[in-house]
């Protein structure tokens, strides 16, 4: 990323940014007639309607673009700069991107759901197109030439006779202080200079040279180090704590106790860690068994829990009677985000005001939640985004921000950098929800699916800050005056939560999809990349292969037969041809291939994956040597960035699918280190060949979450293809592979 | 209490207890950002640095164990304005997503290339098997190391 948010945070820069906070800007119109609903605007312009909230053209020949979305390793800030460069017709080097800062940027909620290109990208696209139009009109008056006769080269406006003016001299503060109309038409694909090109990511140079790239790398004057001492289990309460040993240790600045929340601050990081250990030894807790059954018993438990049932899709078209009926049950355990770097935040209190630096996915939602937790006005809190370690959904980023803020209340104005330890992350991050999926389908005499039923059971898939009636920050639940987590809610269709991608894209005449939403949440859960889509696609696409086999058809032919969407068919055709798919080719007992397909959320990127597996039936070990993926994400902003996201999605999903499950007993989370939660490493990951289908005429959509479901299904289908035995329980551990063979 | 270390060719004396893990001295006293805290248990490789040319996990290496050694961090390989071939190759291959593991990957790669200038893909993967990546950037990392190896010993 360029300047703005994730470059080095030197003291000078910090002060400079703090000073910049006083510069006036507007994010909402000052006044608007009441009872008049605003006209719809594209993407995040709808809620952030002022042009100067998005864009500033500076007299010094630079452009500052503001986005409420944040870099989480997906390359979004580079992609947004490409959009700004093209629509405004300025060189990328002139563009400074400022992202995720409650005092400077638009409020775009959370960076999640692969929506940033649609929301922030569309807003910037139209805002920049409109700004360019305004500048051209201004230049037309000055140069005495019609605006339509002018052209722009890197911010220089040229008239046919050779007269010229630049953005930098024409621009005034007032020029963009107006509400967007979205009437200026963005450029067609044929005029793009940056969009569609693999522009190198702005954030990578600092990351490969030891630059200050992360919140973890920030250092402020007088800063001390914090650590938190979490309870031994979710329902534990602190009975007493002997602080003497910790306080006697060198460097200890503060011991913070508020109810069952315990933290420590020290001058040096290793001193904070030592003090946290001493405090842990001195703490007495009362524990309560509160966790559900684990292993297979979990799924009987899910089925037995009180549920809020909703029919999310129902169709009763005329069709032949079924001559053959299949049913199967699929499961997915609790799984972790498991970023390599534990969550970290920096907090500083000054004159009753709080400034937090965080790798949160949503600076505004976090600010609101901190205000609730700390019982103070949101206006007195600034949240500034800095990058963190990999973000695959709602992890500990928000929680650690409150930990740091609570800890920093006791350090007399000195900033506190607080990082979780590895076990804090594994035991306390909100996991991806476990799921149970019952599928049932009927085939007619011609091998067509005439009936399809999906019933799924799952907890919520989103308990983010800013979403509910409670306080969705971990420490808030353990304070002396404890706050409640928000009530669980399902994200409604069409995006869906647990039921994301539960409705097949296939055309089935009779169909019923029921979501049994479980509002109780004995294990803390929230958004993990794809939410329910990973398990739903795994289940539906596994079942499609079972149905194809029952119909005596090749899995690809069977899918194509049931699809009407040409873009869906195109990715499947393309991946089949790329992988050299041979119809009805069966595995040899050891090696096999399988396909999986989905249109993410049924409204975003189309991805088809073919995976090859090698199954050692004696040891139960599955290897995935190679995978092919084809993606259609509409208009492609940055092809290499898109490929990187798909590759990463395939590899991460392979790891989820083969390895990953959180373990716990009746009281405690048991997963606390990489030894308990092995992920695929360098010698185990598949090679991934990605192809893209560019659709310049279609809206651009994100793709960070589009490959995970199809990959799981492709592996499952390949294992069945190789061995003739199907595994329907995630993950495919050696034990489950061996059990399936008998 | 003070400890003197040789880091990236410079003698540095810092006020820290001798048993302090090297990682915290690098990050907090010497303000070198590259080595990262990942697990504190030598399980993930994010804190990898070179000690006398060998890749070690700085999170479990007490400072006193490395006082008479040459310590190299990623900052010692090259800088943004003067990139080492490995750093350049990682940029050319866009071999990062979040990038938190990348400094450790680069240092393990440096240790490998110093010993085996033209490693096979299998040798690269084995040498980096102790460095975890969660974003799924593994194959780009391997390609970057192959590219650098070619560049460094044509």
pLDDT in tens, A75-88: 999 999 999 999 99
Cα–Cα distance, B1 to B3 (Å, whole number): 7
Does residue B62 fall inside a structural domain?
yes
How far does B100 lie from chain A, in Å, by closest CA? 5
Mutation target vs A (from B100, B120, B132; most A CBs, 10 A cutoff)? B100
Q: How many Cβ pairs within 8 Å bridge chains A and B? A: 184
Query: Domain total for chain B?
Result: 2
Q: What pLDDT does B1 receive?
A: 83
Asked if A422 lies within 8 A of B40 by C-beta distance, the reply is yes
B89 shares a domain with B36: no
B57 shares a domain with B26: yes
B93 shares a domain with B39: no
Matching CATH number, A11-206, of 3.40.50.2020, 3.40.640.10, 3.30.365.10, 3.20.10.10: 3.30.365.10
Q: What CATH number is associated with residue B134?
A: 1.10.150.120
Q: Once rounded to an integer, what is the mean pLDDT over residues A717-733? A: 97
Q: Once rounded to an integer, what is the mean pLDDT over residues A726-736? A: 96
pLDDT at A29 over 50: no
pLDDT at A622 over 60: yes
Q: In what order do the strands lie in the sheet with A308-316?
A: A308-316, A510-517, A449-458, A435-443, A324-332
Mutation target vs B (from A682, A685, A707; most B CBs, 10 A cutoff)? A682
For B71, the domain range is: 3-75
- CATH 3.30.365.10 boundaries in chain A: 11-206, 215-287+339-428, 297-333+431-462+497-741
In angstroms, the first-to-last Cα distance of chain A is 53
* Local confidence band at A467 (pLDDT 50, 70, 90 cut-offs): confident
Q: In what order do the strands lie in the sheet with A164-166?
A: A151-153, A156-158, A164-166
B92 shares a domain with B71: no
B90 shares a domain with B70: no
Residues in chain A: 742
pLDDT in tens, A696-714: 999 888 889 999 999 999 9
Q: What pLDDT does A37 receive?
A: 67
How far does A104 lie from chain B, in Å, by closest CA? 24
Residue from the list A268, A389, A688 with its beta carbon closest to the beta carbon of B24: A268
Mutation target vs B (from A9, A340, A385; most B CBs, 10 A cutoff)? A340
Nearest to A336 by CA among A727, A688, A673: A673
Q: What pLDDT does A398 receive?
A: 98
How far does B154 lie from chain A, in Å, by closest CA? 23
The answer to whether the beta carbons of residues A523 and A562 sit under 8 Å apart is: no
Q: What pLDDT does A7 receive?
A: 35
Q: Once rounded to an integer, what is the mean pLDDT over residues A505-533? A: 97
- Mean residue pLDDT of chain A comes to 94
pLDDT at A17 over 60: no
* Local confidence band at A39 (pLDDT 50, 70, 90 cut-offs): confident
**Nearest-10 Cα torsion for A486, A276, A348, A254:** 120
Asked if A340 lies within 8 A of B100 by C-beta distance, the reply is yes
Asked if B43 lies within 8 A of A674 by C-beta distance, the reply is yes
Nearest to B138 by CA among B84, B86, B101: B101
Chain A residues touching B43 at Cβ < 8 A: 422, 673-675
CATH topology for A297-333+431-462+497-741 is Aldehyde Oxidoreductase; domain 4 (3.30.365)
Chain B residues touching A655 at Cβ < 8 A: 136
What is the SS3 string spanning A689-702? EEEECCCCCCCCCC
B102 shares a domain with B62: no
B71 shares a domain with B93: no
Chain A residues touching B142 at Cβ < 8 A: 682
Which two three-digit tokens encode residue A708? Answer: 């995970």
B94 shares a domain with B49: no
Chain A residues touching B139 at Cβ < 8 A: 647, 651, 685, 687-688
Nearest to A10 by CA among B82, A268, A18, B13: A18
Which two three-digit tokens encode residue A46? Answer: 């709808």
Does residue B80 fall inside a structural domain?
no
Does residue B50 fall inside a structural domain?
yes
Contacts of A653 (CB under 8 A, 6+ apart): A534, A707, A708, A709, A711, A712
How far does B7 lie from chain A, in Å, by closest CA? 14
What is the SS3 string spanning A311-336? EEEEEECCCCCCCEEEEEEEEECCEC
pLDDT in tens, A133-164: 999 999 999 999 999 999 999 999 999 999 99
pLDDT-flagged residues of chain B (< 50): none
Does residue B34 fall inside a structural domain?
yes
Which residue in chain A has the smallest CA separation from B21?
A270
B123 shares a domain with B64: no
Last residue in a domain, options B57, B75, B93: B75
Cα–Cα distance, A655 to A721 (Å, whole number): 20
Work out the percent of chain A whose per-residue pLDDT is above 70.
Answer: 95
- Within 10 angstroms of residue A368's Cβ, the number of other Cβ atoms is 20
How far does B120 lie from chain A, in Å, by closest CA? 13
Residue from the list A214, A219, A648 with its beta carbon closest to the beta carbon of B135: A648
Beta strands in A1-94 (DSSP E): 55-57, 63-67
Last residue in a domain, options B50, B75, B100: B75
DSSP helix/strand/coil, A652 = helix
Which two three-digit tokens encode residue A159? Answer: 């008239």
B121 shares a domain with B99: yes
Residue from the list B33, B106, B131 with its beta carbon closest to the beta carbon of A217: B33
Interface predicted TM-score (ipTM) of this complex, two decimals:
0.98
Asked if A682 lies within 8 A of B102 by C-beta distance, the reply is no
Matching CATH number, A215-287+339-428, of 3.30.565.10, 3.30.365.10, 3.30.230.10, 3.10.20.30: 3.30.365.10
Chain B residues touching A641 at Cβ < 8 A: 94
pLDDT at A31 over 50: no
Asked if A204 lies within 8 A of B94 by C-beta distance, the reply is yes
Cα–Cα distance, B36 to B58 (Å, whole number): 9
Q: Once rounded to an integer, what is the mean pLDDT over residues A152-177? A: 95
pLDDT at A100 over 60: yes
pLDDT at A728 over 50: yes
Beta strands in A45-94 (DSSP E): 55-57, 63-67
Which residue in chain A has the smallest CA separation from B140?
A644
Helices (H) and strands (E) in chain A, counts: 18, 24
Q: What pLDDT does A36 receive?
A: 57
Contacts of A395 (CB under 8 A, 6+ apart): A337, A339, A343, A425, A429, A430
DSSP designation for A528? B
Q: What pLDDT does A19 receive?
A: 38
Q: What DSSP string runs through B51-113?
A: ETTEEEEGGG-BGGGGTTSEEE-HHHH-BTTB--HHHHHHHHTT--SS-TTHHHHHHHHHHHH
Which residue in chain A has the smallest CA separation from B34?
A210
Nearest to A600 by CA among A652, A506, A530: A530
Asked if A390 lies within 8 A of B126 by C-beta distance, the reply is no
Pairing between β-strand A55-57 and β-strand B70-72 as defined by DSSP bridges: unpaired
Which residue in chain B has the smallest CA separation from A71?
B98
Which two three-digit tokens encode residue A366? Answer: 């976090």
Nearest to B41 by CA among A342, A403, A387, A670: A342
* Local confidence band at A5 (pLDDT 50, 70, 90 cut-offs): very low
pLDDT at A3 over 50: no
Nearest to A94 by CA among A70, A127, A128, A69: A128
pLDDT at A20 over 80: no
Cis bond upstream, residue A731 (ω within 30): yes
How far does B1 lie from chain A, in Å, by closest CA? 12
Give the residue carrying structure tokens 């539960």. A502
pTM score, two decimals? 0.95
pLDDT at A8 over 70: no
Q: Is A439 left (phi over 0), alpha (psi -120 to 50) or beta?
A: beta
pLDDT at A474 over 70: yes
> What are the φ and ψ backbone dihedral angles of A517, each rounded to 5 degrees?
-85, 125
Asked if B74 lies within 8 A of A208 by C-beta distance, the reply is yes
- What CA–CA distances, in Å, run from A542 to A328, A534, A548, A719? 10, 12, 10, 11
Last residue in a domain, options B25, B42, B75: B75
Asked if B98 lies within 8 A of A219 by C-beta distance, the reply is no
B124 shares a domain with B105: yes
Cα–Cα distance, A469 to A492 (Å, whole number): 17
Cα–Cα distance, A26 to A49 (Å, whole number): 9
B64 shares a domain with B98: no
pLDDT in tens, A346-375: 999 999 999 999 999 999 999 999 999 999
Chain A residues touching B83 at Cβ < 8 A: 208-209
The answer to whether the beta carbons of residues A444 and A322 sit under 8 Å apart is: yes
Nearest to A225 by CA among A346, A342, A341: A346
């Amino acid at each position: 990323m360029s300047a703005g948010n994730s470059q080095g945070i030197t003291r000078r820069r910090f002060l400079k940014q703090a000073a910049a906070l006083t510069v006036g800007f507007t994010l909402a119109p000052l006044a608007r007639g009441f009872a008049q609903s605003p006209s719809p605007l594209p993407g995040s312009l709808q809620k952030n309607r002022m042009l100067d909230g998005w864009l500033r053209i500076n007299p010094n020949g630079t452009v500052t673009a503001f986005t409420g979305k944040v870099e989480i390793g997906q390359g979004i800030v580079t992609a947004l700069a490409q959009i700004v460069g093209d629509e405004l017709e300025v060189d990328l080097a002139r563009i400074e991107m400022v992202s995720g800062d409650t005092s400077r940027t638009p409020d775009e909620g959370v960076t999640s759901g692969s929506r940033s290109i649609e929301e922030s990208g569309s807003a910037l696209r139209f805002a920049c197109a409109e700004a360019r139009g305004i500048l051209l009109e201004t230049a037309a008056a000055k140069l005495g030439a019609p605006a339509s006769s002018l052209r722009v080269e890197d911010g220089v406006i040229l008239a046919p006779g050779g007269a010229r003016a630049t953005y930098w001299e024409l621009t005034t503060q007032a020029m963009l202080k107006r509400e967007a109309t979205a009437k200026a038409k963005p450029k067609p694909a044929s005029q793009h200079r940056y969009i569609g090109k693999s522009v190198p990511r702005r954030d990578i140079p600092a990351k490969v040279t030891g630059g200050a790239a992360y919140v973890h790398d920030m250092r402020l004057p007088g800063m001390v180090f914090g650590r938190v001492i979490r309870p031994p289990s979710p329902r534990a309460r602190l009975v007493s704590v002997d602080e003497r040993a910790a306080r006697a240790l060198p460097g200890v600045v503060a011991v913070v106790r508020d109810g069952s929340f315990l933290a420590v601050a020290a001058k040096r990081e290793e001193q904070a860690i030592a003090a946290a250990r001493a405090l842990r030894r001195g703490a007495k807790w009362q524990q309560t068994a509160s966790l559900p059954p684990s292993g297979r018993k979990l799924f009987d438990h899910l089925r037995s829990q009180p549920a809020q049932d909703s029919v999310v899709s129902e169709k009763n078209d005329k069709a032949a009677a079924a001559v053959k009926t299949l049913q199967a049950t699929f499961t997915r355990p609790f799984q972790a985000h498991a970023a390599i770097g534990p969550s970290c935040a920096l907090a500083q209190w000054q004159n009753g005001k709080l400034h937090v630096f965080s790798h949160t996915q949503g600076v505004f939602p976090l600010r609101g939640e901190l205000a609730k937790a700390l019982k103070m006005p949101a206006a007195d809190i600034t949240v500034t985004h800095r990058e963190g370690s990999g973000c695959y959904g709602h992890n500990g980023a928000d929680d650690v921000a409150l930990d740091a803020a609570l800890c920093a209340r006791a350090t007399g104005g000195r900033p506190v950098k607080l990082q979780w330890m590895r076990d804090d992350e594994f035991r306390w991050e909100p996991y991806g929800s476990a799921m149970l999926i019952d599928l049932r389908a009927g085939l007619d005499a011609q091998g067509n699916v005439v009936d399809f039923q999906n019933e799924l059971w799952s907890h919520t898939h989103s308990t983010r800050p800013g979403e509910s009636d409670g306080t969705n920050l971990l420490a808030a639940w353990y304070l002396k005056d404890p706050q409640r987590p928000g009530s669980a809610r399902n994200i409604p269709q069409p995006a869906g939560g647990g039921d994301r991608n539960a409705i097949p894209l296939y055309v089935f005449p009779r169909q019923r999809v029921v979501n049994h939403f479980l509002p109780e949440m004995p294990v803390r859960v929230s958004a993990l990349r794809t939410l329910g889509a990973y398990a739903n696609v795994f289940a539906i696409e596994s079942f499609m292969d079972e149905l194809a086999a029952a119909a005596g058809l090749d899995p690809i032919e069977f899918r194509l037969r049931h699809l009407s969407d040409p873009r869906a068919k195109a990715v499947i055709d393309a991946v089949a041809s790329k992988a050299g798919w041979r119809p009805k080719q069966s595995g040899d007992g050891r090696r096999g291939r399988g396909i999986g397909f989905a249109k993410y959320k049924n409204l975003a990127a189309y991805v088809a994956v073919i995976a090859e597996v090698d199954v050692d039936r004696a040891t139960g070990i599955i290897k995935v040597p190679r995978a092919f993926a084809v993606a259609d994400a509409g208009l492609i902003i940055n092809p290499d960035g898109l490929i990187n996201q798909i590759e990463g999605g395939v590899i991460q999903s392979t790891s989820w699918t083969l390895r990953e499950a959180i373990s716990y007993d009746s009281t405690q989370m048991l997963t606390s280190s990489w030894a308990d939660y092995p992920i695929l490493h360098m010698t185990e990951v598949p090679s991934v060949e990605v192809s893209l289908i560019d659709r310049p005429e279609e809206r651009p959509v994100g793709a960070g979450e589009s490959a995970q479901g199809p990959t799981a299904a492709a592996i499952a289908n390949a294992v069945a293809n190789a061995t003739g035995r199907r595994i329907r329980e995630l993950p495919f551990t050696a034990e489950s592979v061996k059990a399936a063979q008998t | 209490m003070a400890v003197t270390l040789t880091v990236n060719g410079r003698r540095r004396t810092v006020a820290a207890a001798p048993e302090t893990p090297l990682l915290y001295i690098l990050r907090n006293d010497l303000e070198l950002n590259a080595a990262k805290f990942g697990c504190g248990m030598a399980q993930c490789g994010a804190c990898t640095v070179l000690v006398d040319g060998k890749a070690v996990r700085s999170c479990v290496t007490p400072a006193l164990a490395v006082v008479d050694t040459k310590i190299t961090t990623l900052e010692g390989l090259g800088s943004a304005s003067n990139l080492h071939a490995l750093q350049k190759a990682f940029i050319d291959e866009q071999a990062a997503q979040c990038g938190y593991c990348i400094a450790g990957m680069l240092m393990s790669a440096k240790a490998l290339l110093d010993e085996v200038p033209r490693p096979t893909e299998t040798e690269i993967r084995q040498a980096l098997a102790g460095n975890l990546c969660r974003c799924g950037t593994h194959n780009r990392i391997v390609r970057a190391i192959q590219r650098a190896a070619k560049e460094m010993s044509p």
